[in-house]
Amino acid sequence: MFTLSHKAIAVEPLRQSLLRLDAGGFCSFEGWVRNHHLGRGVERLEYEAYAKLALTQGAAVLDAAQEQFDLLGVRAEHRIGELVPGELAVWVGVCSVHRDQAFEACRFIIDEIKATVPIWKHEFYTDRSNEWVDPTACHCDHRHVAETEVQT
Amino acid sequence: MFTLSHKAIAVEPLRQSLLRLDAGGFCSFEGWVRNHHLGRGVERLEYEAYAKLALTQGAAVLDAAQEQFDLLGVRAEHRIGELVPGELAVWVGVCSVHRDQAFEACRFIIDEIKATVPIWKHEFYTDRSNEWVDPTACHCDHRHVAETEVQT
Amino acid sequence: MKSVTMLYFAQLSAQAGCAEERWETDVSSLQELFAELKQQHTWTLSLNKVRFARNDAFCAADESFDDGDVLAIMPPMSGG
Amino acid sequence: MKSVTMLYFAQLSAQAGCAEERWETDVSSLQELFAELKQQHTWTLSLNKVRFARNDAFCAADESFDDGDVLAIMPPMSGG
């Protein structure tokens, strides 16, 4: 199940929803809001979603993971709205009989969510500028160039 | 920090010990006690440790991960004593600036813990037999042959 | 002439000054519609960067559309 | 003749009937000590399967030891 949350993501209920007596390995990934990006201080950010399509596409990503890997459970939740550094942006959890499949599926799911689920990150920096993050504008692994608007 | 616990592992305090404002990715792995192993029903198991060496070797594994990967935090805890299916046997958590390093380090750590930290699993089956698990006795990925003692 | 509901997101919405609008058009594919709207809203993203949805489902740039459709134009995703 | 404290774990301990014992020996390396104890305790594991520790630190099979040392013989690990 893929869900969107306007409130702080509660990790423990998500994790507990996956507990199974026949599972041996559980892998989770959490995306945390960092206080820096490309050398700039991040003060806060906003996630905007195309909610209806995000929910169907998120579910499709989890379905694809279940087809591709040997899993006993999958769950993901993405936060929407305004967040500050230290907050949880996205949670992915996977359980399986063995750890291989859990690790690989978890990695697959977060990569697919980032690339295909219609959610956008608007970063607000400590220098009062802000930017819609565009991962496709990378010049290399860790440098983005996108439209920067200085707040007036 | 690598720790051993005689009580149920509490996930949330471990996770919270890794929270950092400059970290963007967190990956955790949990080993859960399964109710089956190689086709046999597992009723309970006991983990025995060479505690003193397990603590120094566990710490060495985490140190090696920090040398090999670009990490902001690592933490692992292994349960000792008697466990039943569904309980948490081991927890590993890693945070980093980016998710690549978090995933890879988490995988490295659990693999190294399993292979090098002196802890042994004694499985007790629903058919009343029991066995000290020997991963090196694998004939293939998922079949072990080891000394089986039938309880009298 | 078809009348559609357009949905814009992130920088496309910021540059257009609205997240949703009615649009009347004679073009027949989403990519032609994008070209029309790019000029109208002075969008900076090029066609190869955007993705389209028709009635809440992803679709190709050369997809056609009908009067009354809800059409979305999306910049590169950046969730996670 | 050296007197050492032996530590056994898991199936080695189960087969020996004890987890710890004093042992008097004339051999000079851990692998020789293992051969001696394997016979004594009818252990089924072979040398290439076990690991050794001397005074709570891993060591090689050809390591020597001193009177008073604490020596551990460990079967393949199976934590996790």
Q: What is the ipTM of this complex?
A: 0.92
Q: Determine whether C68 is exposed, middle or buried from the number of CB atoms within 10 Å of its CB (0-12, 13-18, 19+).
A: exposed
Find the CB nearest A115 among C53, C56, C77.
C77
Which CA distances in Å does B71 have to A12, B98, B103, D18? 24, 9, 11, 42
Cβ D78–B115 below 8 Å, yes or no?
A: no
| CATH (domain of D22) | 3.10.20.30
Q: How confident is the model at residue D59, as a pLDDT?
A: 98
Residues 13-42, chain C: which have Cβ within 8 Å of A?
Answer: 13-14
**Ramachandran area for residue A99 (φ above 0: left; ψ -120 to 50: alpha; else beta):** alpha
Compute the mean pLDDT over every residue in chain C, rounded to the nearest whole number.
97
Nearest CA in chain B to D74: B118
Per-residue pLDDT, A138: 61
Range of the domain at C18: 2-74
| Closest to B47 in 3D by CA, of D10, D6, D7 | D10
- pLDDT tens digits, residue range D9-54? 999 999 999 999 999 999 999 999 999 999 999 999 999 999 999 9
Q: D64 exposed, middle or buried (CB, 10 Å; 0-12, 13-18, 19+)?
A: middle
Q: Which residues of B touch A26 (CB under 8 A)?
A: 29-32
> Residue B93: what residue type?
G
Terminal Cα-to-Cα distance of chain B (whole angstroms): 41
Whole-number pLDDT of residue B137: 83
Q: How far is C6 from chain A (nearest CA, A)?
A: 13
Specify the amino acid at residue D23.
W
Instruction: Tell me how many domains chain C contains.
Output: 1
Q: Nearest CA of chain B to the CA of D23: how many Å? A: 19
Tell me if D80 is assigned to some domain. no
Could you read off the pLDDT tens digit of each residue along chain A, which spans 152 residues?
A: 999 999 999 999 999 999 999 999 999 999 999 999 989 999 999 999 999 999 999 999 999 999 999 999 999 999 999 999 999 999 999 999 999 999 999 999 999 999 999 999 999 999 999 999 999 886 454 444 444 444 33
Smallest Cβ–Cβ distance between B47 and the set D14, D53, D79 belongs to D79
Give the CATH H-level superfamily of domain A2-125.
Answer: Molybdopterin biosynthesis MoaE subunit (3.90.1170.40)
Kindly report the pTM of this predicted structure. 0.92
Q: Among B107, B55, B110, which residue's Cα sits nearest to residue B80?
A: B55
Assigned token pair, A67: 């087809």
Looking at beta carbons, which residues of chain B come within 8 Å of D80? 31, 78, 89-90, 110, 113-114, 119
Q: What is the pLDDT of residue A150?
A: 41
